[in-house]
Amino acid sequence: MHSSLEQRIIDLEMRLAFQEHALQELSDALAAARSEEARNALLLHRALDELRQFRSAMAASPLTVDAASEPPPPHY
């Protein structure tokens, strides 16, 4: 049978192993979150660039529609 001191050492080793495992899981989760954050930031910047390009194109050639030249709506 283990002595009290040996049992305490075994318990501490088990706790240490559990904490190391938990720390690795947290580290992996943090790395994944940072990667996802970087990907989302890139997607956001791309979407904003596309929006700026769209606004510039719209400002350069505004759509001028004469309401009189449009056919009447179907309910007329």
The pTM score is 0.59
Domain ranges of the chain: 8-56
Q: What is the pLDDT of residue 1?
A: 62
List pLDDT tens digits, range 53-75.
Answer: 999 998 888 666 666 677 777 88
> How would you class 62 by CB atoms within 10 Å of its CB: exposed for 0-12, middle for 13-18, buried for 19 or more?
exposed
Q: What is the pLDDT of residue 66?
A: 64
Q: Given pLDDT bands bounded at 50, 70 and 90, which one contains residue 5?
A: very high
Question: Rg (Cα) of the chain, in Å, rounded?
Answer: 32
